[in-house]
Structure 1
Amino acid sequence: MPKSTRNRGTGRVGRRGRGTALGAVETITRPSQTLPVIIALCIWRWRWELLTLATIAYVTAAHGNQIVGFFTDTVPVWFTVVLIILAAGWLLVDNPARRFARNRVWCVITRHRVRACLTEMRTRNWSGNLPFIIGCFATKTGQVVWLWMRPGLSAEDLDNKSETLASACWARSAVIARHKRNAALVRIDIDRRDPLSKKHIVSPLLNDTSDMPEAAVADDAVLAFITPDPVLDESTRQPPAKSGTSGETRTKTTRTKTTAAVNDSQTVILGANGEDVSDYV
């Protein structure tokens, strides 16, 4: 018998019961960039880390011996210990320097996390380029990230991705908004904290009743001003007087409905013209 031309590997079930599907292939396009462009983008992406390392290297190489000699030969040991404790306490206490350092660290972390999230979500154009991260800035509730959408991308590519971005940035929530004038600019607000959660807000509207006991403030002060006006009875209303040509005042007379009792079980209601309107009432 002739051998079968069917591939034995197609549809074969492995030892663990998995099917080897060979038809599903994921293609990821990588951008074609030159070496100078890649180096420039890496320097821009890691600029704060490179700046910190360059500062530490410069201080260590230029002034390292002087600093070590000052703390070992000039000042006593107790002064060094006190100086380290004061420096650590100053960094732990809430002050402008600590807030600046904390905000910069979170901005660097948020920028890297947003780029990693965009990479994992495959937010790329057909050339394989990601949205360009212009910068990350600190706010009172967290950070804000500005994106420049490359050709082929728009704010619609980030629809329903706010929870994914918030999870990637370790934040409470994320809000994605497009710029009003330029569709290529997209703003991502990363909310990490609520500034009003630990503050007690006192309303100035309660100054008159804040010191009074609760029993004395039984009635709502607002409801006292929004109660409806009393409805006047139609019999007490008087139509406005009209003046005629001769200066005499004429009063408009209104016809009232009259009722006549026929018997104890039925009441006849007569209209203005004397018609029986009992069936319509």
Structure 2
Amino acid sequence: MTTSPRVGPPGEPPQYSPLPPEVRRPLPTTVLWRWRYESVAVIGISTCGLLADHAGRLSETALVAAIGAAFIASTPPLRRAVASRVLCIVSAHRVRTGLAHAWVHNRYGRLPAILVTRPTDYGESVTLWCPAGVGQLQVSAAAGVLRDACWGAQHVQVTTDPRRRHLVTVHVVRRAVDDMMHG
């Protein structure tokens, strides 16, 4: 069984306690929350397709969708906006996977919850709600694993909210920006 050091009184050697064998399985509501964007997209596209097919307008609906996709692909600002939102969704999944593989969880096997992922000038900003027993120190120790998990990341920087220590932000840096964090 794998063990981890537990900090004891100053001057005494650390005591070891067993780690949980694996990350705890999420509840069905947690799985739905994690895959909410993909679920809404699949349900929306399926519903539009069924309604268009029922009305006998499937070819017209497909044509409008193709024109919309071509317009987005041919307009650079729209293309960048869509690509950054897609990268936010992908980064949230990759950060969660990196946290699980780096064993960043509490004694009960609970992973930090991803609250929001935002696009930034340098890449993405992923805000985590850490359960008791997990904080910036544990997430910072896993920065290398998180960088490797996030496709194309140059490096990962971890910060915490000064007033709410359980809120930790993982900055996934994909592009160099001068004075990225300003401190």
Fold conserved between structures, TM > 0.5: yes
Alignment partners' CA distance in 1, 2:23 and 2:142: 23
Alignment partners' CA distance in 1, 2:157 and 2:87: 17
- Cα deviation, 1:175-200, whole Å, max 9, x if unaligned, reads 1011111110101111112367xxxx
Q: 1:62 to 1:180 in 2, by over 3 A?
A: same
Alignment partners' CA distance in 1, 2:103 and 2:168: 17
Paired residues, what number?
Answer: 157
Q: 1:26 to 1:86 in 2, by over 3 A?
A: closer
Alignment partners' CA distance in 2, 1:88 and 1:100: 15
Which residue in the other structure is 1:228 paired with?
none
After TM superposition, the score normalised by the length of structure 1 is 0.50
Q: Give 1:66 shift.
A: 0.9
Amino acid at match of 1:152: G
Alignment partners' CA distance in 2, 1:136 and 1:126: 26
After TM superposition, the score normalised by the length of structure 2 is 0.75
Match of 2:130 among 146, 149, 164: 149
Structure 2 residue runs of 5 or longer lacking an equivalent are 1-17, 179-183
Which residue in the other structure is 2:44 paired with?
55
Of the two structures, which has the highest relative contact order with CA contacts closer than 8 Å and spacing of 6 or more? 2
Q: 1:192 to 1:32 in 2, by over 3 A?
A: closer
Alignment partners' CA distance in 2, 1:86 and 1:43: 28
Structure 1 residue runs of 5 or longer lacking an equivalent are 1-24, 72-79, 197-281
Structure 1: which 4+ aligned runs deviate by more than 3 Å? 29-33, 83-87
Q: Give 1:158 shift.
A: 2.1
1:163 partnered with 2:144: yes
* C-alpha RMSD of matched pairs (Å): 2.8
Which residue in the other structure is 1:91 paired with?
73
Which residue in the other structure is 2:84 paired with?
103
Match of 1:43 among 32, 48, 54: 32
Q: Is the CA contact 1:29–1:126 (under 8 Å) kept in the aligned structure 2? A: no
Alignment partners' CA distance in 2, 1:58 and 1:66: 13
Q: Is the CA contact 2:94–2:149 (under 8 Å) kept in the aligned structure 1? A: yes
Match of 1:177 among 139, 154, 159: 159
Alignment partners' CA distance in 2, 1:86 and 1:116: 33
1:116 partnered with 2:109: no
Amino acid at match of 1:180: P
Alignment partners' CA distance in 2, 1:192 and 1:32: 31
Matches within 5 A, 1:1-281: 27-29=20-22, 31=24, 38-64=27-53, 65-68=56-59, 70=60, 87-88=69-70, 90-95=72-77, 97-170=78-151, 171-194=153-176
SS at match of 1:104: helix
* Structure number with larger C-alpha Rg: 1
Q: Give 1:48 shift.
A: 0.5
Amino acid at match of 1:125: N
More helix, by proportion: 2
Q: Give 1:104 shift.
A: 1.6
- Cα deviation, 1:119-148, whole Å, max 9, x if unaligned, reads 111111111101111111111111000011
